[in-house]
Amino acid sequence: MESNFGDVKSGQSIMEEFYQARQNKDEDITSWGIRIEEMIQRALEKGEIQENKKDEILRTKYWKYLRNSELKNATRVFFENSLTFEELRKRVRREEQEMTVSQERKEHTKQINTMQRDQQFRILNDLTEKLQSMQKQLDVLTQEKVARKDNRSENVTRDYKRYDNRPQSGNRRTFSRGRGYSGNRGPYRGRRPFPQDVYHRDSNSQHHLNGNQLLLMGSMRAVKIPLSPNRNQWKTFLVEW
């Protein structure tokens, strides 16, 4: 029966297979420990190794060929403390679970940070768009204000020109304020008075000044100037015209 269904490999072949064994890429640490433990058990049954050496061979093989270098470094202290194979295997599995939880926590934190960063970017983009929209509205309002100001300036200039170019009736003339103008501070003291309220008529007309007739001849004209703001006192002057 053993020749038909039993293990036909020699103990030496089993040990060679054991020494060449490595943890596979898709093999977890539990499967890795079970696989090498089965090899040692077969070698032990073939009488290839002694029972008292079994544990040391297993624990050395198991820890030395772990694929995860981070896990291997984290459990080095357990291996160096000469724990049994079974105890070492438990510590390694426990450490792997803690590392997995820690990694998941880091990934979760990273995802949260990414989501928060994306949300902050969206808020910043919204604020930027709103600021740009407000700036455009402000530019439009500024342009409209400048346009209204220009229109008012054009209207004032146009009205001024229309007023300045209006036709003069009769012999009425306007007088500018020259050096001899003294406002309402008293009678004129210069050579040629130019009061605001001067009324001219041609040389053949007569002026009724303070109820007296005065015949104006030649280039002389009579002008009447108020001596007080309420114009209840007047004074008449003859000026050359």
Q: Where do the domains of the chain lie?
A: 1-151, 191-241
Question: Is the pLDDT higher at 175 or at 63?
Answer: 63
pLDDT higher than threshold 50 for residue 60: yes
With beta carbons less than 8 A apart as the criterion, state whether 14 and 46 touch.
yes
Residue 179 has pLDDT above 60, yes or no: no
pLDDT band at 58 (very low <50, low <70, confident <90, very high): very high
In percent, the amount of the chain with pLDDT more than 90 equals 38
Please state the pTM of the whole predicted model.
0.44
Confidence of residue 81 (pLDDT cuts 50, 70, 90): very high
